[in-house]
Amino acid sequence: MIQKAKFEKKLPLSVETCFHYLTIKSEDIPDGATQFKCCPPIRTDENRKQLWSALKDGTITSVVSDHSPCVPELKGLDKGDFFEAWGGITSVGLGLPLLYTEGSTSFNVDLVDIAKWCCENTAVQVGLGHQKGKIAIGYDADFAIFDDNTDYEIANARTYFKNKLTAHSGKKMKGRVIETILRGNSIYAFGKGVSDVPMGKLILEPRQN
């Protein structure tokens, strides 16, 4: 349906998926592990592979975090009840290593592909393609310094989340973000944490096509 709308009818359709749908498969989720609850639910490995294929052929254009944090108590880990647990997977800040690890090892994906899906296409989708999404003259100086040779394991206790619980804990990663630059300002550095000076900017510009 999506392919017909985009490629045959040429409709201006935006299609996105999330880090967790690309890196987690339902076969690996233990019974009662409510930290994996999200909407829609995590699907099978076959479905996950189809999502990667859809990204590579342009059917899906963007990958986003859908970051949905909550206090650990709302996940109800002690009960293991998926109907009662808060829905959402905490993943902001983990996206680049997650995609690079999975993409480079299993799907022949490189950093250029990831930058297109997470930066360039997403900026265009939300009307900021004239300001965000690439490193170019006249654009905001937004970029990350990424060490693609570092191996490590995600651990809840070592995340920078306020509520230290993520479904990605225990995953072995290839590559780490060393520093994040927003409009030329360092807002995160590995080993130092995040900047205590707010750098956000309210964007209320009219959408530019």
Mean pLDDT of 191-196: 86
Average per-residue pLDDT for the chain: 93
pTM of the model: 0.91
**Of 194 and 142, which is predicted with more confidence?**
142
Q: Structurally, what CATH architecture does the domain formed by 2-194 represent?
A: Alpha-Beta Barrel (3.20)
- CA-wise closest residue to 11 among 63, 64, 59: 59
pLDDT in tens, 78-130: 999 999 999 999 888 899 999 999 999 999 999 999 999 999 999 998 889 99
Backbone CA torsion sign across 53, 14, 126, 164: negative
With beta carbons less than 8 A apart as the criterion, state whether 141 and 184 touch: yes
Q: With bands split at pLDDT 50, 70 and 90, how would you rate the model's confidence at 201? A: confident
Residue-by-residue DSSP string for the chain: -HHIIIIIS------EEEHHHHH--GGGPPTT-GGG--SSPP--HHHHHHHHHHHHTTSS-EEE-------HHHHTTTTT-TTTSPP----TTTHHHHHHHHHHHHS---HHHHHIIIIIHHHHHTT-TTTSSS--TTS---EEEEEEEEEEE--GGGS--SS---TTTT-EEEEEEEEEEETTEEEEETTTEE-SS-------PPP--
The predicted pLDDT at position 208 comes to: 61
pLDDT in tens, 11-28: 988 899 999 999 999 999
Domain boundaries, the chain: 2-194
What pLDDT shows up at residue 136? 95
| pLDDT at position 68 | 83
